[in-house]
Amino acid sequence: MAIELDLDSVEALALRRLCEAGASLSQAAPVARSIRAAERDGVRSHGLMYLPVYVEHLACGKVDGNAVPVLDRPRAGAVTVDAAHGFAHPAIDLGLPVLLQAAHDCGIAAMTLRRSYNCGVLGHHAERIAEAGLIGLCFTHAPASIAPVGGRLPVIGTNPFALAVPDGAGGARFVLDQSASVVAKSEVILRSRRGEAIPEGWALDAEGRPTRDAAAALKGSMLPAGGAKGFGTGLLVEVLASALAGAIPSREASPFSGSVGGPPATGQCFLAIDPAAFAEGFVDRIAALANAIELQDGARLPGARRLAARARIDSSGVRLDRDLADRLGLHVQSD
């Protein structure tokens, strides 16, 4: 039993639920668009599945639904935005045009956000930078869930980063989006909700022992991808998205799930680089690099699966199972 929605209906549903929960239109609309984009790319963990969490956080005060982000321009190539404990998306929308212009003017520019929140699919923000003809390199930290190798106490979050490279025709040649952990924490949360086991190698329990119990994993530590190298990647993100941005450290941020704690007050850092400021022929070199990957049997560029999902879902729409439809208050008909 399931329900099917087209993408317009996904966005409209998200906007309605967010506004009903107390978010202003200026706060809700960018989040609704991000939910649509996540569903379009098949990234279900950041689509409608996350909507009940957003609604809960508006109700409990983790997100200020009437926040008004504030932008500052301290230097020619520096942009800062105080998200004011609102959603990250409207704060990003406020600062991004200024960041893009600064990068075109200076060759490279950076934007940081503080007192922010979960920004959804990080690769989507990097892709917007690439669509402006710039290299987009984005970082966002999260509440602590990864312990250092050899330790048991989480000190950094899953801390994703994303890279989007322009194709010279108003799009992105490829988008790399990955976290410091073996898998996104949302995947563990989903399995915990369903009572399903997680694969070996994803997480440790609170005692530092390997576990396949999703609930125990949420009380312990996610494992970093590649061991010490993955932890190092997360540490890099922590420096840029938390320390540089003036945001709260991951180890002090309240969880992105549940109602415990106040606003997470996390941060982001976005870099935009104009290839034309450094050397001619960038687009051609990227095309050659991409071709060297794609021409190999069985190989694919980062983000290829999302593009395939995007093409499929644009035409077929989104299919919700009974559990999610019930959580969203939608009526489910028999198949």
Is the Cα dihedral 207, 213, 217, 223 positive or negative?
A: positive
Alpha-carbon distance of 97 to 83, in angstroms, equals 16
Judge contact between 13 and 332, C-beta under 8 A.
no
C-alpha 302/C-alpha 300 separation (Å) is: 7
Residue 140 CA to residue 238 CA, distance in Å, equals 8
CA–CA separation, 231 and 156 (whole Å): 8
Q: 178 burial class (0-12, 13-18, 19+ CB within 10 angstroms)?
A: middle
DSSP-based helix, strand, coil % in the chain, nearest 5? 45, 20, 35
Instruction: Tell me 240's DSSP state.
Output: I
Which tokens belong to 103?
A: 């990068």
Catalytically active residues, by annotation: 45-46, 187
